[in-house]
Amino acid sequence: MKFTDSRIFQIALGFLVPILLLGAWQYASVTGYAAPNLLPPLTRIYGTFTDLLASGELGEHLWITLYRVFAGFVAGLAVALVLGILNGYFRFFRYLLDPMLQALRNIPSMAWVPLFILWLGIYETSKITLIAIGVFFPVYLNLLTGIISVDRKLIEVGWVHGYRGFRLIWHFFLPATLPSLVGGMRSGLSMGWMFVVAAEIMGASKGLGFLMTDGQTTGRPAIIMTSLILFAIFGKLTDMVMVWLGSKLLYWQTDLVTGKQQSA
Amino acid sequence: MEQTTLGSHLQIKKTAKRYGDKQVLQEVELEGKPGEFIAIVGRSGCGKSTLLRLVAGLEKASEGGIHIDGEEIRFIHPDTRVLFQDARLLPWKSVLENVRVGVKDGDIRKAEKALEQVGLSSRASEWPGVLSGGQRQRVALARALAGNPKLLLLDEPLGALDALTRIEMQQLIEQLWTEQRFTALLVTHDVAEAVQLADRVILIEQGKIAFDVKITLSRPREHNSDFAYFEKLILDRILIKEKAKSPSGNIGKNDNYTI
Ligand SMILES: Nc1ncnc2c1ncn2[C@@H]1O[C@H](COP(=O)(O)OP(=O)(O)O)[C@@H](O)[C@H]1O
Ligand SMILES: [Mg+2]
């Protein structure tokens, strides 16, 4: 195997440009090429980070944001599963509900905020609902298309072997639809992160999004950047969890790639 | 369960099939005796698959109907199985689990036995994706037979296989048919294959049964002069039509040729 084929090399290569950029950043801010009140040195960001962490403040903000994303994701996923399955399997419901959902999809996320605050107050419910809406659409759309475009030929195999109703769904439709559902869940999660920022910027007293606006109003860029970096890290981490979960759900595809055999 | 006759009695009664304005089949009348092996040949697009799908219950007849053991079928008959040209294995199930799909009570031992019959026990735990085309088709055959069908419908199941694999599969199908005595309806574009396997060969032309010949050769069949006789008989019958259709043909529009 060539050295360039090794996984470690490939991963290391992905870190190269970010590290160079960070180096240039640090250099520019300590030598004064960049105004420190706009581009604080990395060391200051790190200092801000450890200060916030030590005071327990950061943990609190991070925790509430993660909680909102999680709760919104679960709620959005649940509704998407119900409506996706209903509209996917029963044409009646599809004709009844899908046009309305497609229309609602076109409302920009921020446009919901005033209404939700009016209806649901400024506390958690309105934020989680907003995030749930963001999660809902990609999951719903992927699931619906997945169900509708399931290979008829495989369903015929189910029919000729006497599979009907629930058994047909469990053994044929569900596994055939799973890849698009997993894809939808992944984009739903990234929408969840987008919407949590929207929700927290609009009005919150806690959360990473709040921390950012706080940094902005008090003129502390290090705080803004700390939150940005945390968004990047936790967005990536949760996405990795999602990919891992997907590979468990789609075990047959994973095994085929890695060449493992299924244990009986 | 009755052990004397294991095959279904198949009756296709004055059956027609239209898709919109397109008449695909008309006045098809065919009887398959229990345990009989019938091959259907004909040019591409003549309606062979459509006929098979009607018998399978996957399509509804526009006129007439399909009767199995004296009863008209409305949907798929529980004792009918289909082997499609593409094996249609489920990528999310192992080879053995794919065979198990065909077992009526889900008993894994029956799946193992069916897989053994097609000689693929050693691949039981693998994914269908890693098998060759011929192996996949054997798994599909095991799946179809695992439910002890009384009527097996085969739609060009060997069409995509190489010549050697094809001969092996033909022998396997013949052997399993001999052992299990189900009624078989095989669609094929290969006249030699039809003569090799079938008790009767039926030719479909322009949506109608144009020709019906009993293959009186004893089994196992050798490729001798008698075999060649039947092969030529059927091929000539298909080709006469071709000549008649060509512009230089002088036979005109008459549909009824005798041989
Ligand atoms: N679902 C369908 N809708 C419309 N036309 C069809 C359909 N299925 C088959 N046909 C038409 O019926 C004719 C016979 O098809 P088929 O039975 O598949 O032929 P064969 O199997 O003999 O090659 C073809 O002309 C085909 O285009
Ligand atoms: Mg066909």
Domains and CATH numbers, chain A: 59-205 (1.10.3720.10)
Q: Which of the four pLDDT bands, split at 50, 70 and 90, describes residue A8?
A: confident
Bond preceding residue B157 cis, omega within 30 of 0? no
Nearest CA to ligand 1 atom 21: B49
Paired sense of beta strands B63-68 and B22-32, if any: unpaired
Measured CA distances, B85 to A161, A253, B38, B157 (Å) = 16, 24, 17, 4
Distance from CA of A113 to the nearest CA of B (A): 42
pLDDT of residue A204: 78
Reference A158, options A146, A179, A173; nearest CA is A173
Q: What is d(CA B121, CA B117) in angstroms, rounded to the nearest whole number?
A: 8
Asked if A165 is an interface residue toward chain B (Cβ–Cβ < 8 A), one would say: no
- Backbone torsion region of residue B14, taken as left when φ is above 0, otherwise alpha when ψ lies between -120 and 50, otherwise beta: left
- Backbone torsion region of residue A55, taken as left when φ is above 0, otherwise alpha when ψ lies between -120 and 50, otherwise beta: alpha
pLDDT tens, residue by residue, A45-85: 888 888 888 888 888 999 999 999 999 999 999 999 999 99
Q: Give me the phi and psi of A105, to 5 degrees please.
A: -60, -25
Please indicate, yes or no, whether the overall pTM of this predicted structure exceeds 0.95: no
Q: What is d(CA A84, CA A63) in angstroms, rounded to the nearest whole number?
A: 31
Residues B204, B206, B210, B215, Cα dihedral to 10°: -20
Q: CA nearest B146 in A: which residue? A: A161
pLDDT tens, residue by residue, A128-146: 999 999 999 999 999 999 9
Chain B CB contacts of A161 below 8 Å: 81, 101-102, 143, 147
| Helix, coil or strand: residue B39 | strand
pLDDT of residue B259: 38
Does A262 contact B76 at a Cβ distance shorter than 8 Å? no
Calculate how far, in angstroms, residue B51's C-alpha sits from the geometric centre of ligand 1. 10
What is the overall mean pLDDT for chain A? 88
Q: Are B53 and B35 in contact (CB under 8 A)?
A: no
Residues whose beta carbon lies within 6 Å of some atom of ligand 1? B 19, 22, 24, 42, 44-50
Chain A CB contacts of B90 below 8 Å: 154, 157, 171-172, 175
pLDDT of residue A255: 67
Reference B217, options B209, B208, B207, B227; nearest CA is B227
Handedness of CA A110, A116, A122, A125 (dihedral sign): negative
Q: Which of the four pLDDT bands, split at 50, 70 and 90, describes residue A113?
A: confident
Asked if A162 is an interface residue toward chain B (Cβ–Cβ < 8 A), one would say: yes
Give the atom of ligand 1 at the shortest distance from the alpha carbon of B204: 22
Instruction: Find where tokens 């593409």 sit.
Output: B86
| Helix, coil or strand: residue A90 | coil
pLDDT tens, residue by residue, B25-80: 999 999 999 999 999 999 989 999 999 999 999 999 999 999 999 999 988 999 99
Q: What is d(CA B206, CA B47) in angstroms, rounded to the nearest whole number?
A: 8
Q: Are B189 and B41 in contact (CB under 8 A)?
A: yes
What mean pLDDT do residues B78-103 have?
A: 94
Does B90 contact A156 at a Cβ distance shorter than 8 Å? no
Chain B CB contacts of A156 below 8 Å: 58, 82, 84, 88
Q: What is d(CA B44, CA B23) in angstroms, rounded to the nearest whole number?
A: 15
pLDDT at B13 over 50: yes
Check residues B245 and A183 and name the one with the higher pLDDT.
A183
| Helix, coil or strand: residue B156 | coil
pLDDT of residue B2: 43
Reference B188, options B164, B230, B154; nearest CA is B154
Contacts of B73 (CB under 8 A, 6+ apart): B57, B65, B66, B67
Q: Which of the four pLDDT bands, split at 50, 70 and 90, describes residue A36?
A: confident
Reference B134, options B92, B162, B96; nearest CA is B162
Interface of B with A in 42-81 (CB under 8 A): 56, 58, 75-76, 78, 80-81
Q: Which of the four pLDDT bands, split at 50, 70 and 90, describes residue B230?
A: very high
pLDDT tens, residue by residue, A155-165: 999 999 999 98
CA-atom Rg of chain A in angstroms = 23
**What per-residue string of b and e applies to A16-25 under the rule 16 or more CB within 10 Å gives b?**
eeeeeeeeeb
What mean pLDDT do residues B143-159 have?
A: 94
Give the atom of ligand 1 at the shortest distance from the alpha carbon of B46: 22
In chain B, which ranges are E strands?
10-19, 22-32, 37-41, 63-68, 71-72, 80-83, 151-155, 183-187, 200-205, 208-214
Instruction: Find where tokens 């697009």 sit.
Output: B45
Give the atom of ligand 1 at the shortest distance from the alpha carbon of B51: 17
Q: CA nearest B102 in A: which residue? A: A161
Q: Is A12 exposed, middle or buried (0-12, 13-18, 19+ CB in 10 A)?
A: exposed
Chain B CB contacts of A253 below 8 Å: 91
